[in-house]
C-alpha cells in the first residue's frame, strides 16, 4: 500500500500536515473503493470483501 501511495499521490506539493492528511484520506478512499487489485481478481478491496462475506460456508 505505501509504495503505491508514494507513487500515486503528489505529497511534495502539500504545504501543511492538514493538507497531507486530506490527500492521504482521499487516496485511501480511492484505493479501497475504486482501484482494482490484480490479486483480488481485479476487484476493489471493499468489493472483494463483500463478495467473500456473501458466499455460503462450505
Residue spans per domain, the chain: 2-54
Q: How far apart are CA 58 and CA 40, in angstroms?
A: 20
Helix (H, G, I), strand (E, B) or coil at 39: helix
CA-based end-to-end distance of the chain? 31
Q: Are 25 and 9 in contact (CB under 8 A)?
A: no
Could you list the pLDDT tens digit for every one of the 58 residues in the chain? 888 888 989 888 999 999 999 999 999 999 989 888 888 889 898 988 888 888 776 6
Q: How far apart are CA 44 and CA 28, in angstroms?
A: 12
Amino acid at each position: 500500500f505505501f509504495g503505491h501511495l508514494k507513487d500515486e499521490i503528489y505529497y511534495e506539493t502539500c504545504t501543511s500536515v492538514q493538507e497531507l492528511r486530506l490527500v492521504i484520506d482521499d487516496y485511501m478512499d480511492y484505493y479501497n473503493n475504486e482501484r482494482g487489485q490484480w490479486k483480488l481478481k481485479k476487484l476493489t478491496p471493499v468489493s472483494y470483501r463483500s463478495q467473500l462475506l456473501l458466499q455460503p460456508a462450505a
